[in-house]
């Protein structure tokens, strides 16, 4: 469903966008493969006729980890390169969200706060979304800072486990971005750590989310929701789209016509 600024989609590889899962109106992909396959993807999208929106995850070094993390001196140039690469697609409305997801190791230290401040400052004006896996970041100070910069805080639906982000929801910008990871906390308790993020959302669980999603839509200009629950992601996205369509149809006024 992509009308009225509400996008439901999945996390996928860039080459599959618009081809494999046309029911997903929003696709989240990594920076490098997005950059590598830009020309090809446009051809694919044109031939498929899909009206797909994109969320691009920023490079690893922007997110505070990876060997290629630039020094403080050339951070400005590298971020400028990021801005130049993505700005045209943002203006064209193809890239709806730019996600900077910081890992658990990105702790709430002074150095990391300064790093975040510089990244947000350099990428100002782009539809930025930041996500933190470390619960330390969920402070009033951060939320107020994001509100001032009009940067969205990524919302997570994840099991309540140590090392996973807390499931809090807050509106900090004119856009909302939510990642649905899993609710499989039982796998952790059973020792099946690899299956924690492999979860099939039930219809009832997704139906409970619909009113909240529509409420976000009333308060924000664009709402993105991606499923990252492993092999069930496409199925969950399709089900969510059906539920949203049914909800919207149910709210339309019924009349017999003229």
Partner 1 sequence: MTSGTIIHVNVIGLMAAVEEVVDPGVRGRPFVVARPDIPRAIVLDLSPEAYREGVRRGMLVQTACARVRALKVVPPRPELYEKVDQSLLETAFCFTPLVERAGRGHFFLDVNGTRRLFGAPEDVARRLLGEIADQTGLVPTVALASTKTAAKVASRVFRPFGFAPLSVNDEGELVARQPVELLPGVGVKLLPRLISLEIGEIGILASLSMDEAQAISARGPELVLRARCVDDSPVNPEPPSRRMLAGETVFEPDCADPDLLAWRAREIVAELGFRMRKEGFGAHFVMAKLVYTDGAVASRSVRAGQGASFVADIQLCEAAERAVRQAWGRRVRVRKLQIELGGFEPAGPELDLFEPLPFFKAEPEIDSTGIQTRRIAMHMRVQSALDRVHGKYGQSAIVPAAAFLYREGSLVC
Minimum Å gap between C-beta 156 and partner 1 is 12
Query: Which of residues 4, 32, 124, 169 is near partner 1 by CB under 8 A?
Result: 169
**Residue with structure tokens 């990244």?**
119
The SS3 assignment for 137 reads helix
The SS3 assignment for 115 reads helix
**Residue 135: what are its φ and ψ, rounded to 5°?**
-65, -15
Query: Which of residues 138, 200, 217, 247 is near partner 1 by CB under 8 A?
Result: 138
Tell whether residue 163 is a contact of partner 1 (CB under 8 A). Answer: no
Nearest to 138 by CA among 125, 122, 156, 126: 156
Compose the 204-223 pattern: x for residues touching partner 1 by CB under 8 A, - for all others: ----x--xx--x--xx----
Query: Closest CB to partner 1 among 54 and 213?
Result: 213
Query: Closest CB to partner 1 among 49 and 162?
Result: 162
Query: Which of residues 75, 161, 197, 248 is near partner 1 by CB under 8 A?
Result: 161
Minimum Å gap between C-beta 258 and partner 1 is 28
Residues 4-43 that bind partner 1 (CB under 8 A): none
What sign results for the dihedral spanned by CA atoms 232, 19, 51, 88? positive
Cα distance between residue 115 and residue 119, in whole Å: 6
Tell whether residue 186 is a contact of partner 1 (CB under 8 A). Answer: no
Residue 125 backbone class (left: φ over 0; alpha: ψ -120 to 50; beta: rest): left
Tell whether residue 141 is a contact of partner 1 (CB under 8 A). Answer: yes
| CA atoms within 13 A of residue 9's CA, in its CB half-sphere | 29
Minimum Å gap between C-beta 206 and partner 1 is 13
Asked whether 130 and 155 are in contact (CB, 8 A), the reply is no
Query: Which of residues 20, 45, 171, 238 is near partner 1 by CB under 8 A?
Result: 171
Query: Which of residues 20, 143, 197, 248 is near partner 1 by CB under 8 A?
Result: 143
Query: Which of residues 111, 140, 251, 257 is near partner 1 by CB under 8 A?
Result: 140
Minimum Å gap between C-beta 231 and partner 1 is 26
Sequence-distant (6+) residues with CB within 8 A of 108 are 134, 136, 137, 139
CA angle 127, 119, 84 (to 5 degrees): 60
Query: Would strands 26-29 and 53-57 be described as parallel, antiparallel, or unpaired?
Result: parallel
Residues 38-67 that bind partner 1 (CB under 8 A): none
Binding site for partner 1 (CB under 8 A): 108, 135-136, 138-141, 143, 160-162, 166-171, 185, 208, 211-212, 215, 218-219
């Amino acid at each position: 469903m992509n009308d009225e600024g509400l996008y439901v989609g999945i996390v996928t590889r860039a080459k599959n966008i618009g081809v494999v899962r046309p029911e997903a109106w929003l696709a989240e992909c990594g920076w490098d493969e997005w950059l590598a396959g830009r020309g090809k993807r446009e051809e694919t999208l044109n031939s498929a006729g899909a009206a797909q929106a994109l969320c691009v995850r920023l490079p690893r070094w922007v997110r505070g980890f990876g060997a290629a993390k630039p020094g403080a001196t050339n951070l400005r140039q590298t971020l400028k390169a990021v801005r130049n690469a993505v700005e045209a697609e943002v203006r064209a409305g193809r890239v709806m969200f730019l996600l900077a997801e910081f890992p658990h190791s990105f702790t709430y230290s002074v150095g990391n706060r300064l790093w975040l401040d510089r990244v947000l400052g350099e990428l100002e004006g782009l539809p930025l979304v930041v996500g933190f896996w470390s619960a330390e970041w969920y402070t009033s100070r951060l939320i107020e800072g994001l509100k001032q910069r009009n940067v969205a805080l990524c919302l997570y639906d994840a099991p309540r486990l140590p090392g996973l982000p807390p499931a809090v929801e807050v509106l900090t910008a004119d856009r909302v971005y939510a990642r649905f990871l899993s609710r499989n906390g039982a796998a952790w308790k059973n020792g099946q750590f690899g299956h924690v993020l492999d979860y099939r959302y039930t219809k009832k669980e997704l139906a409970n989310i619909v009113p909240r999603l529509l409420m976000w839509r009333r308060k924000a200009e664009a709402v993105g929701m991606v499923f990252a629950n492993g092999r069930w992601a496409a199925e969950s996205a399709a089900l969510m789209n059906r539920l949203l369509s049914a909800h919207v149809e149910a709210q339309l006024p019924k009349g017999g016509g003229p």
